[in-house]
Amino acid sequence: MENTASPKVRFTVSALRPETITALLVLLATVLMMLIMKALNPTFGSLEQIAAILTTSIFLVVASYGQGLVILLGGIDLSIGVVMSIGGMIIAGLTNGSNQALVWAIPVTVLSCIAIGLVNGLGVAFLKVPPFIMTLAVATAAFGVALGLTAGSSQRTVAPALQQLMSARISGIPIPILLIGCFLIGGSLLQSRTAEGRKLYAIGSNLAAARIVGLPIEALTVAAYGMSGLCASVAGMLLAGYSSGATLDMGDPYLMPSIAAVVIGGASVTGGKGNYLGTFAGAVFLSALSTIITVLSLSQGWRNIIQGGIIVIALTLQTKQWYLQKMANRRLTGQGSPNRALSQNSKV
């Protein structure tokens, strides 16, 4: 571990990239949190409860994937909550308790939500409106349209098939958990192993360089926001299936956690850093946290205080871990100027 950086040591460092370590640590923290809970309250922690925690994490796991792609570009998507609600409302409104309607209702729902995402992307990419404002404005407007169309009242029942999807099991494992697994693998591959995914990293870490290289920045930006709309619509449909109905504000509680999940997972809000395993870990962590806190018999105020505090502590640990990793890398490779360290620390 001294200055004699043998190839073997280098290999171990590169095999466990800092992003992966962050993700594993966050997952470890989640397990630790559950164990502490188990120690405090022995009735907690049955297999059923853990399955329930994982099942309810699917909404955040799916929604934060889109958020992660957008943040990877250095943007932000504030429309996720509204799009989730709209996705749920459309699927509930169109199917209205019938399974036959699903065949065309799902494409309609997904396409409408992608359209909202594309509007976001077009505004950001071509009109150069800051993502913060563009997505907020589109969310506000889309909410208005949804409110107008539904008159704020209709709460129909979702197709039973969608409800069964959220509650059924295949050989003892709840389907949502299997879906999470598939989504994690598919999402990770798309983000980290495809050319288009790597281009997002390139754009996010250095826009000017990406432009010089000739990457299709506008097209990829629009695509990332479109993906975010897609993920939010899927999350919304699953949420509607889980709660067997939809309301216009059911997605709102997921907006801020979707950002927090991405950041806890090791991404930088300025873009170019982070992977989906991290975001996934962040999403599971936050979902588990909010479920566990509900188990505690505390008032809402104290639950909020604990939840906020744990988010801050998680971030602190994560940052410390990055710092240690950086130090280790510098010692091993002799690279990494103090200036870079400073700029990374203070520019974020």
Interface residues with another protein (CB under 8 A) are 78, 123, 127-130, 132-134, 136-145, 147-148, 152, 252, 255-256, 259-260, 263-264, 268-269, 299-309, 311-312, 315-316, 319, 323, 339, 342-343, 345-348
Question: With respect to another protein, which residue has the nearer C-beta, 3 or 339?
Answer: 339
Question: With respect to another protein, which residue has the nearer C-beta, 101 or 141?
Answer: 141
Read off the tokens for 127: 């009109």
Beta bridge partners of 70: none
> Smallest gap, in angstroms, from Cβ of residue 104 to another protein?
26
Residues 104-130 as b/e (b if ≥16 CB within 10 A, e otherwise) read ebbeebbebbbebbbbbbbbbbeeebe
> Smallest gap, in angstroms, from Cβ of residue 145 to another protein?
6
Residue 70 · residue 228 · CB < 8 Å: yes
> Smallest gap, in angstroms, from Cβ of residue 347 to another protein?
5
Question: With respect to another protein, which residue has the nearer C-beta, 71 or 179?
Answer: 71
Question: With respect to another protein, which residue has the nearer C-beta, 100 or 343?
Answer: 343
Residue 238 · residue 58 · CB < 8 Å: yes
> Smallest gap, in angstroms, from Cβ of residue 311 to another protein?
4
> Smallest gap, in angstroms, from Cβ of residue 143 to another protein?
5
The rounded distance, in Å, linking the Cα atoms of 251 and 253 is: 6
Nearest alpha carbon to residue 144 among 59, 86, 201, 185: 86
Beta bridge partners of 169: 174
Question: With respect to another protein, which residue has the nearer C-beta, 144 or 181?
Answer: 144
Question: With respect to another protein, which residue has the nearer C-beta, 227 or 260?
Answer: 260
Residues 131-140 as b/e (b if ≥16 CB within 10 A, e otherwise) read beebbbbbbe
> Smallest gap, in angstroms, from Cβ of residue 314 to another protein?
8
Nearest alpha carbon to residue 258 among 64, 78, 97, 98: 64
Question: With respect to another protein, which residue has the nearer C-beta, 106 or 259?
Answer: 259
- If one counts every other C-beta atom within 10 angstroms of the C-beta of residue 98, the result is 13
> Smallest gap, in angstroms, from Cβ of residue 175 to another protein?
31
> Smallest gap, in angstroms, from Cβ of residue 248 to another protein?
10
Question: With respect to another protein, which residue has the nearer C-beta, 105 or 210?
Answer: 210
Phi, psi of 288 (to 5 degrees): -60, -40
User: Residue 171 corresponds to which amino acid?
Assistant: S
Question: With respect to another protein, which residue has the nearer C-beta, 186 or 309?
Answer: 309
Beta bridge partners of 170: 173
Nearest alpha carbon to residue 62 among 198, 201, 202, 181: 181
Phi, psi of 10 (to 5 degrees): -60, -40
- If one counts every other C-beta atom within 10 angstroms of the C-beta of residue 243, the result is 15
The rounded distance, in Å, linking the Cα atoms of 66 and 176 is: 18
> Smallest gap, in angstroms, from Cβ of residue 263 to another protein?
4
